[in-house]
C-alpha cells in the first residue's frame, strides 16, 4: 500500500522531537527537516475514518510539542502521499513559515466566550411569535420589536466586550474579536499571550469575571496559536 | 457532578474541533491545488492530499472507496 503521511505542525527546529509521541493510528511521530525548520509527521495506515478522534489526536501531538518548540499547527487533516510532496510544500511556503515562527515564538492562545445571563438570552427574546391569525401589520410590528431588541442587545454586547477587552489587552500580544451582535455569545474572542504573561492574563480574566458574575464565562487554553497563523 | 463533567468535556471538545478543523496552517483548501508543480487533490473531510497520477494508481485499492465517495 502507498505510504500516507499525516502532518501535525511546523516547528522551529530541524532536530529530533521528543520520543514517545504517537499520532494518528498510533503512528510514531518524527520531524522531517527542511532548511533549519521541520514538519512533524507520522505514517498513516489508511484514510482517517473517525474525524473527531483524529482531530483530538492531532491536537494532542501539537500540544505536546508546543512546550518544547515554537509550533505552527497544521489544519486537520492534512495528509500527503510522499515526503517529496511535503518538502515541495515546505519549499513553497518556507518564507511564510519562518515569519510565523518568529512572530509566534513563546506565544500561546487563550479563547474566551461569554454567554448571556439566562434571563437575558437572545434566543428566548427573539423567538418569532406570530399569532395564528395575525394580520400583516401585526406581523411587521412583531418583527420590528424583534429588530429593536437585537439592536439593544448588540449595543450591550459591544459595551460588555469593550470593558472586558480593555482589562485583558494589557497582557496580550494580539487578539481576534468576533462581532457577536445579538447572537448566543455576549463576547467571543481569542488572545495571543506570551508564556510569561499567562498567569497575569488569567488573573485579569478572573477579576473581570467577578465584576459581572451574571454572565457565564468559558476560558480555554493555553492552546497552540491556531488562530494567529497568518497566510 | 457527572453532568457537569460531561458538559465541560463537551465544551472542551468543541473548542478543540473549532481550532483543529478550522484554523492553523492551510495547505489545501480546494478540490485541486498545485504545489511545486504537482497537482494535489483534497478529498473532503477524509482528506487525502495526493497527486492526480497517484490517485489514478490507487483506483482498485482499499483507498478507492474514499475516492469514489468523495467524487459522487
Q: What is the mean pLDDT of residues A191-220?
A: 92
Please tell me the distance in Å from A139's CA to the nearest CA on chain B: 37
Distance between CA atoms of residues A190 and A110, nearest Å: 6
User: Does residue A85 surpass a pLDDT of 70?
Assistant: yes
Contact B36, A89 (CB under 8 A): yes
- Provide the mean pLDDT of chain A: 87
pLDDT band at A148 (very low <50, low <70, confident <90, very high): confident
* CB-nearest partner of A2 from B15, B37, B58: B58
Q: Grid coordinates representing A97? A: 513559515
Distance between CA atoms of residues A69 and A15, nearest Å: 11
Contact of A81 with chain B, judged by CB distance below 8 Å, is answered with: yes
Mind listing the pLDDT tens digit for each residue in A56-77?
999 999 999 999 999 999 988 7
Q: What is the mean pLDDT of residues A71-95?
A: 89
What per-residue confidence (pLDDT) applies to A18? Answer: 94
CATH number of this structure's domain A108-228, picked from the four choices 1.10.10, 1.10.287, 3.30.70, 3.20.20: 3.30.70
CB pairs under 8 A between A and B: 114
User: Does residue A214 surpass a pLDDT of 80?
Assistant: yes
Contact of A3 with chain B, judged by CB distance below 8 Å, is answered with: no
Question: CB count, 10 Å around CB of A27?
Answer: 19
CA torsion through residues A45, B47, A223, A30, sign: positive
Mind listing the pLDDT tens digit for each residue in B25-43?
887 533 333 334 444 444 4
Say which DSSP state A120 is in.
G
Binary contact (B46, A81; C-beta < 8 A): no
Distance between CA atoms of residues A45 and A227, nearest Å: 29
Q: The whole model's pTM is what?
A: 0.76
What per-residue confidence (pLDDT) applies to A132? Answer: 62
Which chain B residues are Cβ-neighbours of A79 within 8 angstroms? 47-49
Contact of B45 with chain A, judged by CB distance below 8 Å, is answered with: yes
Binary contact (B48, A81; C-beta < 8 A): yes
Question: CB count, 10 Å around CB of B14?
Answer: 13
Contact A104, A92 (CB under 8 A): no
Q: What is the mean pLDDT of residues A27-42?
A: 97
Distance between CA atoms of residues A4 and B63, nearest Å: 11
What per-residue confidence (pLDDT) applies to B9? Answer: 61
Mutation to test the A interface, candidates B7, B12, B18, B23, most A Cβ within 10 Å? B23
Binary contact (A46, B63; C-beta < 8 A): yes
User: Does residue B58 surpass a pLDDT of 80?
Assistant: no
Q: What is the mean pLDDT of residues A167-191?
A: 88
Contact of A58 with chain B, judged by CB distance below 8 Å, is answered with: yes
Amino acid at each position: 500500500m502507498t505510504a500516507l503521511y499525516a502532518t501535525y505542525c511546523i516547528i522551529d527546529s530541524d532536530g529530533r522531537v521528543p520520543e514517545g509521541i504517537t499520532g494518528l493510528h498510533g503512528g510514531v511521530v518524527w520531524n522531517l527537516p527542511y532548511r533549519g525548520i521541520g514538519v512533524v509527521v507520522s505514517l498513516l495506515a489508511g484514510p482517517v475514518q473517525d474525524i473527531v478522534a483524529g482531530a483530538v489526536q492531532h491536537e494532542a501531538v501539537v500540544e505536546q510539542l508546543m512546550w518544547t518548540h515554537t509550533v505552527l499547527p497544521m489544519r486537520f487533516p492534512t495528509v500527503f502521499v510522499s515526503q517529496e510532496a511535503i518538502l515541495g510544500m515546505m519549499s513553497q511556503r518556507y518564507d511564510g513559515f519562518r515569519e510565523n515562527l518568529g512572530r509566534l515564538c513563546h506565544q500561546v492562545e487563550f479563547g474566551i466566550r461569554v454567554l448571556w445571563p439566562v434571563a437575558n438570552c437572545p434566543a428566548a427574546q427573539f423567538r418569532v411569535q406570530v399569532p395564528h391569525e395575525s394580520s400583516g401589520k401585526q406581523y411587521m410590528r412583531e418583527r420590528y420589536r424583534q429588530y429593536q431588541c437585537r439592536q439593544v442587545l448588540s449595543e450591550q454586547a459591544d459595551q460588555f466586550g469593550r470593558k472586558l477587552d480593555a482589562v485583558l489587552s494589557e497582557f496580550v500580544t494580539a487578539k481576534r474579536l468576533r462581532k457577536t451582535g445579538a447572537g448566543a455569545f455576549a463576547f467571543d474572542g481569542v488572545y495571543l499571550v506570551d508564556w510569561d504573561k499567562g498567569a497575569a492574563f488569567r488573573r485579569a480574566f478572573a477579576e473581570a469575571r467577578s465584576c459581572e458574575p451574571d454572565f457565564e464565562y468559558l476560558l480555554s487554553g493555553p492552546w497552540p496559536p491556531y488562530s494567529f497563523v497568518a497566510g | 457532578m457527572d453532568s457537569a463533567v460531561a458538559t465541560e468535556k463537551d465544551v472542551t471538545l468543541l473548542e478543540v474541533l473549532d481550532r483543529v478543523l478550522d484554523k492553523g496552517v492551510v495547505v489545501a483548501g480546494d478540490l485541486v491545488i498545485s504545489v511545486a508543480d504537482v497537482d494535489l487533490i483534497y478529498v473532503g473531510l477524509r482528506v487525502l492530499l495526493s497527486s492526480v497520477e497517484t490517485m489514478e494508481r490507487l483506483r482498485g485499492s482499499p483507498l478507492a472507496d474514499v475516492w469514489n465517495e468523495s467524487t459522487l
